[in-house]
Amino acid sequence: MHLLRFLPLFFLCTLACKSQQRSADGYQAFTGATIIDGSGGTPIPDGVLLLQNGKVVAVGTQQNVTIPTHAIRHDVTGKTIIPGIINAHGHVGDVQGIEGGHYSAQTIKDNLALYARYGITTVVSLGGDREAAVPLRAVNDTTATQRARMFIAGEVITGNTPAEALEVIDKNHAMGVDFMKIRVDDNLGTSPKMTKEVYRAVIKRSHELGYKIATHMYYLDDAKKLLDAGTDLLAHSVRDLPVDSAFIKSIQEKKVPYCPTFTRELSTYVYGDTADFFTDPFFLRAYDQTTIQPLLDPARQAQVRNSKSAKTYKQQLPTAMANLKTLSDAGVPIVFGTDSGIPTRFMGYFEHLEMTMMADAGLTPMQIIVSASKNAAEYLGLKDVGTLSPGHWADFLVLDADPLVDIRNVRKMESVYIGGEKVADKP
């Protein structure tokens, strides 16, 4: 009885709280911040970001943007606003803590919510996606989300013959994926590699069906052949050798984007000891000592240290980093990605670690921000996300410090917004 008496008051309070976030016709104005729109252009000081119903209406100075008198205003003077981070190579739905094998709709939601709390507002899940992911993409075109937007590639395409591989394409197509993905790698000589005949057939059929195709690769020679075959994204760094002039010319001419995923290499060897980031408060926002305890086991650490993969990938990481700088300087479009969402590749945190590693490779903070906004959206064909531009979803971060001074300042997030709605700090 008493509960029923107070229910109307509860709903009134709920509506009032919601109305404080936006006006009756959906206008919000964020004023006073320096705005980096993701295009690579000059930041806008003392800017205005005007939203309506979760989308950007205008971006500019307070002198050239007219704010409706009834708009809800947010004073963010002294802050910096950047677009939400797009991870063009992640994985969603399989991992809880550091364990795989938990694929479910709930795990997908939990993973995407975790990404969002770290400022990653869109994730392209490149492989391992199942039917449970398909309906969860419906939030991509709404504001009703406390989790990152998601695009999927379905099952990674494999096969010893074109016929076998085309069966996987048909399965993915029937599921309704956004991309296709292939693996052309022998895992440092430990497994067979997809043949040229097979991957050419896969790329041809994917294009006939209207899909862009992302490629996992390692070797320079394979990367060259894949460019010739028509791949749409090199989803990892070339790691075995420095890129040469023939490769640079080919990737320039074809305008194929390049996704470095340095933290993928890091994850293969960093747990040979106790990782420095285990004590980082920013890491500990989401990951506790119970989660990382298995990675502190001396026997496990010794096994990692002594493994061929750890030694090789650690040795080749400087080559990958040098290749990124070479390609960026040559004008090759760089898209941001991490390969996180695999066990021990920590979703959310690894994206910020990747930014630091890209800076260590020689990219400027602005180049890194563009790779994670404009480039990722444009070259992967992601709809209504990327830059803070009229018509795009209002996915953005409000920062307490200038990321152009130090890319690590992206970690100093005052708040995260997806579709103009503030993301909760905690689950």
SS3 label, residue 51: strand
- The pLDDT value recorded for residue 24 is 61
Strand order in the sheet with 85-90: 85-90, 120-125, 149-152
**How high does pLDDT run on average in the chain?**
94
SS3 label, residue 246: helix
Q: What is the DSSP letter of 54?
A: T
Pairwise CA distance, residues 321 & 323, whole Å? 5
- The pLDDT value recorded for residue 8 is 41
Tell me the pLDDT tens digit for each residue of 208-231.
Answer: 999 999 999 999 999 999 999 999
- The pLDDT value recorded for residue 179 is 98
Identity (one letter) of the amino acid at 170?
D
- The pLDDT value recorded for residue 25 is 81
* CB-count burial class (<10 Å; 0-12, 13-18, 19+) for 144: exposed
Nearest Cα neighbor of 151 from 186, 115, 185 is 115
- The pLDDT value recorded for residue 20 is 47
Q: Are 3 and 404 in contact (CB under 8 A)?
A: no
Q: Domains of the chain by range and CATH?
A: 84-382 (3.20.20.140)
- The pLDDT value recorded for residue 2 is 39
Residue range 400-405: mean pLDDT, rounded = 98
Task: Output the pTM of the full model.
Answer: 0.93
Pairwise CA distance, residues 157 & 223, whole Å? 17
Q: How confident is the model at residue 147 (pLDDT cuts 50, 70, 90)?
A: very high
Q: How confident is the model at residue 145 (pLDDT cuts 50, 70, 90)?
A: confident
| Burial letters 362-377, b for 16+ CB under 10 A, else e | ebebbbbbbbbbbbbb
End-to-end CA distance of the chain: 31
Tell me the pLDDT tens digit for each residue of 167-202.
Answer: 999 999 999 999 999 999 999 999 999 999 999 999
Tell me the pLDDT tens digit for each residue of 253-301.
Answer: 999 999 999 999 999 999 999 999 999 999 999 999 999 999 999 999 9
Tell me the pLDDT tens digit for each residue of 359-376.
Answer: 999 999 999 999 999 999
* CB-count burial class (<10 Å; 0-12, 13-18, 19+) for 418: buried
- The pLDDT value recorded for residue 141 is 77
Strand 55-61 and strand 47-52: the pairing is antiparallel
Q: Are 86 and 121 in contact (CB under 8 A)?
A: yes
